[in-house]
Amino acid sequence: MAATFPALLQDLLRADPGRPLVTFYDDATGERVELSVATYANWVAKTSSFFVDELDLERGGTLRVDLPTHWLGPVFLGAAWNVGLQVVPDGGADAVVCGPDGLTTYGELAGSLPVVACALQPLGVRFRDPLPDGVHDFGVEVWSQPDSFLPYDPPGPEDAAVPGTSQRDLLGGPPDGPPDGPAGGPDLTGGDRLVTTANPVTPAGLPSFVGPLVRGGSTVWVRHPDPAAWERRRDDERATVEWRPEA
């Protein structure tokens, strides 16, 4: 098992770059997004370059990702670990990523640390209205970043992925059991396709991303789930496991 996120992502690309990895539904808007392994890796590369080249973030730094359940959540997690950043759920951080609802909370911090805002519109498009001074619009700045990322200081297995858990421990758990880091998630085996309402950027929801990732599986995230559509969605997506931690 790969001991760092970059190594794991390269393994996935070599194995089957065209298979689905990240799928997202918003039942309130009708949005559906699907990223193959290769497309996901491209988003991670662009976001990694944005972190390093535009925000001056470095290996060993910290990142807070305050987003609702969304396909960009796994992108920011992957980019953070690709750079060697630790993703923290609260408290101080070297940079913050937020959605529209976080602008009031984090906009005033833009003078003291990088604040990245996501409009959470389909295809990752920009905000329609001007943002507070100093806030970066991810939907504008990400598109100019290169499609590949080669870190000058790559992360190592012992670099922290989340508080108290290294990349090795997060990703290198036994193949038939939960990784050592995000315990308490769904019961998964190799190649499972998970459908879930969990938020992957929260400590409780992190297993919805990491679990399938390390087992060669994939995840379907659903925001604002319509109970009447749940069984059809599960069947249409050929999900083998479902996890609704709040149910």
The three state secondary structure string of the chain is: CCCCHHHHHHHHHHHCCCCEEEEEEECCCCEEEEEEHHHHHHHHHHHHHHHHHHCCCCCCCEEEEECCCCCHHHHHHHHHHHHCCEEECCCCCCEEEECHHHHHHHHHHCCCCCEEECCCCHHHCCCCCCCCCCCEEHHHHHHHCCCCCCCCCCCCCCCEEECCEEHHHHHCCCCCCCCCCCCCCCCCCCCCEEEECCCCCCCCCCHHHHHHHHCCCEEEEEECCCHHHHHHHHHHCCCCEEECCCC
Q: Which residue has the higher pLDDT, 178 or 75?
A: 75
Q: Which residues lie below 8 Å from residue 24, measured CB to CB, with a gap of 6+?
A: 31, 32, 33, 34, 70, 71, 220, 221, 222, 223
Which pLDDT band, with edges at 50, 70 and 90, does 1 fall under?
A: confident
- Is 183 inside any structural domain? yes
Distance in angstroms (rounded) separating the CA atoms of residues 218 and 191: 7
Whether 178 shows a pLDDT value over 50: the answer reads no
pLDDT recorded at residue 181: 42
Q: Which residues lie below 8 Å from residue 235, measured CB to CB, with a gap of 6+?
A: none
pLDDT recorded at residue 185: 85
- Is 224 inside any structural domain? no
CB 169 within 8 Å of CB 227: no
- Is 229 inside any structural domain? no
Q: What's the domain count of the chain?
A: 1
- Is 116 inside any structural domain? yes
- Is 223 inside any structural domain? no
pLDDT > 70 fraction of the chain, expressed in percent and rounded: 95
pLDDT recorded at residue 121: 87
pLDDT recorded at residue 123: 79
pLDDT > 90 fraction of the chain, expressed in percent and rounded: 87
Whole-number average pLDDT of the chain:
93
CB 143 within 8 Å of CB 49: no
C-alpha distances in Å from residue 44, one per residue of 175, 178, 179, 200: 24, 24, 22, 15
Mean pLDDT of 54-59: 97
pLDDT recorded at residue 147: 95
- Is 228 inside any structural domain? no
Which pLDDT band, with edges at 50, 70 and 90, does 177 fall under?
A: very low
Which pLDDT band, with edges at 50, 70 and 90, does 136 fall under?
A: very high
Whether 27 shows a pLDDT value over 50: the answer reads yes
- Is 151 inside any structural domain? yes
Which pLDDT band, with edges at 50, 70 and 90, does 183 fall under?
A: low
CA dihedral 77, 79, 81, 85 (to 10 degrees): -100
Mean pLDDT of 72-94: 96
Whether 42 shows a pLDDT value over 60: the answer reads yes
Q: For 60-74, 123-137, 164-178, which range has the lowest pLDDT when averaged over its residues?
A: 164-178
Sheet hosting strand 218-223, strand order edge to edge: 31-36, 20-26, 218-223, 193-196, 241-243
Domain that holds residue 184: 5-15+39-188+200-212
Q: Which residues pair with residue 143 across a beta bridge? A: none
Distance in angstroms (rounded) separating the CA atoms of residues 211 and 229: 25
**Tell me, what CATH number does 108's domain have?**
3.40.50.980
Whether 28 shows a pLDDT value over 80: the answer reads yes
Question: pTM here?
Answer: 0.94
Whether 140 shows a pLDDT value over 90: the answer reads yes
In this predicted model, what pLDDT tens digit does every residue of 97-133 receive, in sequence order? 999 999 999 999 998 999 999 999 887 889 998 999 9
- Is 120 inside any structural domain? yes
Q: For 29-43, 91-105, 182-196, which range has the lowest pLDDT when averaged over its residues?
A: 182-196
